[in-house]
Chain A
Amino acid sequence: MVGVSARREVVIGPYHEYLLEPERITLYVEDGVVKDVDVRLGYCHRGIEKLMTTRTYKQAVFLSERVCGICSHAHTTAYCTTAEALLGMEVPERGLYIRTVVAEIERLHSHFLWLALLAHGVGEHEAFAHIMKEREKVMDLLELISGNRVHYAINTVGGVRRDITPKVAEKIAATMKEIRPLADYCVDILDENGPVGEKVAGIGVMGYDEAIRLGAVGPTLRGSGVRSDVRADDPYAAYGELSFDVVVEEDGDVRARAMVRARENLESISMVEQAIGALPPGPIVAEPGEPVVGEFVGRGEAPRGELIYYIRANGTNMPERVKIRTPTYANVFTYTKTLLGARLEHVRPIIESIDPCFACTDRLVIVDARTGRRREVAVEDLPYGASGGVV
């Protein structure tokens, strides 16, 4: 770093109250205002992409699931969608619908968790406790559908592994009714005069052009007024057959990003209800495909934004190369805009506002040194070297 000696350094992490996961964020502060930021990742790097090339296509599903412990289903969906396209497999309708139901219920639990943490971060402990308590209904539901609260193991290459019985479908519909008040509650507390909304309004602002320039995705992008959602733009699973709105907020501040998620919860509830009502009969998984040579890029909308999978096949039963572009990896660069000039007391909600999931993101060590107008991104400390090559 150049010219930082006169400034105060505030190091957040790797273990810190603000961070659910270990990362190191260094803030360079003058008079309580953030002047520069340095993000160091790598604390959650597990070499998943490399490991996937040593597993069969079906076994690799469980690795992609464990990229992230919150949006595990989004990862398997994107991975399976890509692998199925590559291997030329046609997933039965019912399989696609079940995939969609679980994906939207997962989005609910992910968004509720994040909204609870945001409330906690601004000192609204009552709201935190309430959301976490009610969210348990969603967790219990996921456990009932899949047999586990976090890693659902529902997806497989070619469809899904577990059917939704009429009894479970009933329970899903009942739970959606039960949690609608919680979704409404989240929208209410984020109102401009709401207890959480008033504390996070107007901070960490990122405009329309800036959001696009920095490559933001998902609610972080939609919070800046950009209408972009893979579910609507490039429908996969059963999204093409469901009706829903792409939630957009114009303000570009932390409140807008939070509101996008809060309103998305209502859309998700409606999507689950539609999908459960229209669950087509038939098989849930396709016959195994033949080994092929080729490559394919697929994507999906994870709770945090656009998730991209690239798979290259070499004619064996294992992928030759898998590359994952996770949403937080795209969103973490927005810190260079939203954190600069922020008051120190606003740092926590701003860090939280992109819903950072470092377990997904940790593939590179990034040094983002910014002095004046200059901005460099360098890659270092990689055990196998090369940006994104083997990692």
Chain B
Amino acid sequence: MAVRKLRVFRADASSCNGCDIEVLEALLPRFKVGQYIELVYEPEQAEALVITGGANFKTADEVRAVYEKLREPKIVICVGSCAISKGIFAEGYPMRGPADQLGIPVTVFVAGCPPRPQAIAQAIAGLLGLELDTSEEYWGVPEGFRGLPEFDPERCVGCGACANSCPTGAMGFEDLEADRAVRVNYGLCIYCATCQEICPEEAVKLTGEYRAWFKGKEEMLKGIEVPLRRCANCGRPYTTDRHLEACMRRLLEKSGKVYEPLLEELKKLVSLCPECRRAVENIRLAKALLIKAALAT
């Protein structure tokens, strides 16, 4: 196929260098798109711009200036979580990006921290309308590869442990009308697997999927919904049904002997939201329960 080489300018906007090297490696013969790409070192000669990093107070202006100088059609490829959302540095005081918030229209976002060269190569091939032969073994992933996290809708109880432990805030939840929405943002995730480690229900797993490139940011949000539990007294949602069930199950597993005889009282107490539990009559109920439990041990 006779394709004119795409001239690419590479702008490192305060990245850690991880994505930059992976971009360079994606141009190795092994990944098959290098022959269609020419790296140039003057933005005026380039039609495409690869941005890595979340752009700090110095590079924000530089990247914008580079974008202005690009030739048409001004293809912009954002590589890595930082270039998409500033990633783990989102709250860093020098950060001014990411690129799309600097007024740079982005053609494609390649997610990963950093994305594999295999992903970068395939994303570029997609832009150029090329079909890559990905039959070799290295286009697959080794066992234990840390790819896109996924929730198991059967197992997730919506407890929020993943959101609490996530170093970047890629994991999060939001209480809707009747459900708790548990979400992962592939554009913010650093694929560290802390969520997988912490999940008490083994409901979140890092899959072997690495092919993650997106046209828009809303495509990067993936998640599930877990039904909310409302307070038996005031009707406000305070947790999810399944979370409550899981807590009860674990309590009975651990100290069943003590709590089995007190199950009815216990159920009544946990059907209240934390605020209603603090009402005077409920404190009395709780104290009575605790005394009975203490006597039983």
Chain A contact residues, CB within 8 Å of chain B:
14-17, 20-22, 42-48, 50-51, 54-55, 58-59, 62-63, 66-70, 72, 113, 129, 132-133, 136, 139-140, 143-144, 146-151, 153, 161-162, 357-359, 362, 383-384
The closest CB in chain A to the CB of B144 belongs to A147
State how many angstroms separate the Cβ of A223 from the closest Cβ of chain B.
22
Which residue from B13, B29, B93, B194 sits with its C-beta under 8 Å from A133?
A: B29
A58: B residues at CB distance < 8 A: 194
How far is A149 from B190 in the complex, measured between Cα atoms in Å? 13
Which residue from B21, B62, B87 sits with its C-beta under 8 Å from A43?
A: B62
Is B95 interfacial (CB-CB < 8 Å)?
yes
30 A-B residue pairs with CB within 8 Å: A15-B11, A15-B66, A21-B12, A22-B12, A22-B13, A42-B56, A43-B58, A44-B59, A45-B14, A50-B93, A51-B91, A62-B190, A66-B16, A66-B88, A67-B16, A69-B21, A72-B16, A133-B29, A136-B25, A143-B116, A144-B142, A147-B206, A148-B146, A150-B21, A150-B22, A151-B190, A151-B191, A359-B17, A362-B14, A383-B57
State how many angstroms separate the Cβ of A212 from the closest Cβ of chain B.
28
State how many angstroms separate the Cβ of A143 from the closest Cβ of chain B.
6
The answer to whether A161 and B20 touch (CB under 8 A), given A43-B58, A136-B28, A384-B93, is no
How far is A162 from B138 in the complex, measured between Cα atoms in Å? 22
A132: B residues at CB distance < 8 A: 25, 28
How far is A202 from B49 in the complex, measured between Cα atoms in Å? 38
Which residue from A45, A63, A68 sits with its C-beta under 8 Å from B58?
A: A45
State how many angstroms separate the Cβ of B171 from the closest Cβ of chain A.
12
The answer to whether A359 and B16 touch (CB under 8 A), given A45-B58, A46-B89, A148-B191, is yes
The answer to whether A14 and B17 touch (CB under 8 A), given A48-B92, A149-B116, A151-B113, is no
The closest CB in chain A to the CB of B141 belongs to A143
Taking A44-B17, A68-B16, A69-B20 as known contacts, 9 extra A-B pairs with beta carbons closer than 8 A to each other, sorted by chain A number, are: A22-B11, A22-B59, A46-B16, A51-B91, A63-B167, A143-B116, A147-B193, A151-B190, A384-B93
Cross-chain contact B88 with A62 (CB below 8 angstroms): yes
The closest CB in chain A to the CB of B137 belongs to A140
How far is A14 from B10 in the complex, measured between Cα atoms in Å? 12
The answer to whether A47 and B95 touch (CB under 8 A), given A133-B28, A150-B21, is yes
Cross-chain contact B30 with A21 (CB below 8 angstroms): no
Cross-chain contact B95 with A150 (CB below 8 angstroms): no
Cross-chain contact A50 with B20 (CB below 8 angstroms): no
B94: A residues at CB distance < 8 A: 45-47, 383
A43: B residues at CB distance < 8 A: 12, 14, 56, 58-59, 62
Is B239 interfacial (CB-CB < 8 Å)?
no
B194: A residues at CB distance < 8 A: 58-59, 62
Interface centre among B13, B58, B168, B192 (most CB of A within 10 A): B58
How far is A133 from B62 in the complex, measured between Cα atoms in Å? 32
The closest CB in chain A to the CB of B62 belongs to A14
Which residues in chain B, 109-165, are within 8 Å of chain A measured between CB atoms? 113-114, 116-117, 138, 141-146, 165
Which residue from A15, A16, A21, A161 sits with its C-beta under 8 Å from B17?
A: A21
A383: B residues at CB distance < 8 A: 57, 93-94
Is B274 interfacial (CB-CB < 8 Å)?
no
A69: B residues at CB distance < 8 A: 15-21, 114
A129: B residues at CB distance < 8 A: 29
How far is A69 from B91 in the complex, measured between Cα atoms in Å? 19
How far is A247 from B168 in the complex, measured between Cα atoms in Å? 40
Cross-chain contact B16 with A162 (CB below 8 angstroms): no
State how many angstroms separate the Cβ of B115 from the closest Cβ of chain A.
10
Cross-chain contact B41 with A150 (CB below 8 angstroms): no
